[in-house]
Structures are given as structure tokens and as C-alpha cells.
Amino acid sequence: MTLAITFPPGGAPGTTPPPDHITIDVVTVNGSGCPAGTAAVAVSPDNKAFTVTYSDFLAQVGVGALPTDFRKNCQLNLRVNVPQGFTYGIAQADYRGFAHLERGASGTERANYYFQGMSPTAYKSHTYSGPFSDDWQATDTTEVAAIVYSPCGERRNFNINTELRVNAGTSDPTRTTSFMAMDSTDGTIETTYHFAWKPCP
């Protein structure tokens, strides 16, 4: 996943990030979809994005799969260090991966995010039905008026929850394998978390 910064109407002008450097610290990484050492975060040199790279985020059912492999999840707990006088929220999230789903099988990606100590956003889900063997991409968009911002003057960690789930459905898991993977991305604008910024009073 790549996370990029944008400014909503009424926020700072244009799409230029705050002038001071933005840093992101990974506090914890938990979940069956991101075992230790398989998820990494890197901030771009221009402060406009950061990329989360997964190397083992794969849910599957069928031949070669364990009974627990049908569902994989990952929770990232991040500390986003922003310049004084600014706060941020999430306006849009795009997820990308690859799936191979046999006829009758289905795969679902769902995600939510929240600031420490605040209510999580509702999970948003995207389901794909077999036969399907291709790249997939899902987009979650939040209306500007509904964006939840980190409280000004407070340091709260940011949590991202993602989940992949594969259902064999009417396919034959004794003879076939269906899977869905969350990939690293190429950093294009099509695969981004868009940060919405606003000045603090």
C-alpha cells in the first residue's frame, strides 16, 4: 500500500505537503497476514507518500492450504510525526493485490482504520467472485465532511486493519486451490491512502 497526502477543500492550498519533514514510526505489526519481518514501511523523499510492503499476506483454500489459511489479517500501529500546527485524517484508501479464484469460490478484502482511543471507522468490504485470475484493486472513499481527524495537540497512534478472506463456496477444495494476496504496490496514484490535512487553531 502507498499512502499519499492531499488537501481537502478548506484545508491547506494545493497538494503540497507541510514544509517540515514527515516521519512515520512502525510501533507494532500484528496478524497472520504480516508475520514478523514481512511488512515494512518506507517514507518517500518528497514527504508525499509512504509505502507499506507486504511479502506474505495471502489467504487461500484448497489443495496445499491449512484449515486456518482461509482468513489472514494484519494490524499496523503507526506513529505519524507531523509538523506542528497540522493534523490529518484519511480521505481515501486504495488496496491492490492478485487473486486466483476457481468457479464458485470468492475472495473478500476488508479494512478499517482509527486513531488510538477513538472509535474505529466501519469496515468496508470488497468481494470478488470466481472464475477470476487477475490483479484486483479496491477503493474506499470518505466524504470530506465525514473525515475523522487526529485531535490537534495530541499524539495518537494510527491503526490500519486489513483482512483477506477466501471462501471455497461451490468449488471443489479437494482438487483446486483459490487464493487472494495483498501485494506491495508500484507507488502510482492508483494505489494510495490519501491523507487529508487541516491547520490546527
Q: What is the pLDDT of residue 17?
A: 60
Q: Which of 59, 39, 90, 56 lies closest to 198 in space, CA to CA?
A: 90
Which pLDDT score is estimated for 151? 86
pLDDT at 128: 98
Three-state SS at 68: helix
Q: Where are the beta strands (DSSP E) in 7-85?
A: 23-30, 39-43, 49-54, 58-62, 71-81
pTM of the model: 0.81
- Name every residue whose Cβ is closer than 8 Å to that of residue 197 and which is 6 or more positions away in sequence: 5, 6, 7, 8, 11, 12, 17, 18, 86, 87, 88
Positions of the chain with pLDDT under 70: 1-21, 44-50, 184-194
Share of the chain above pLDDT 90, in %: 34
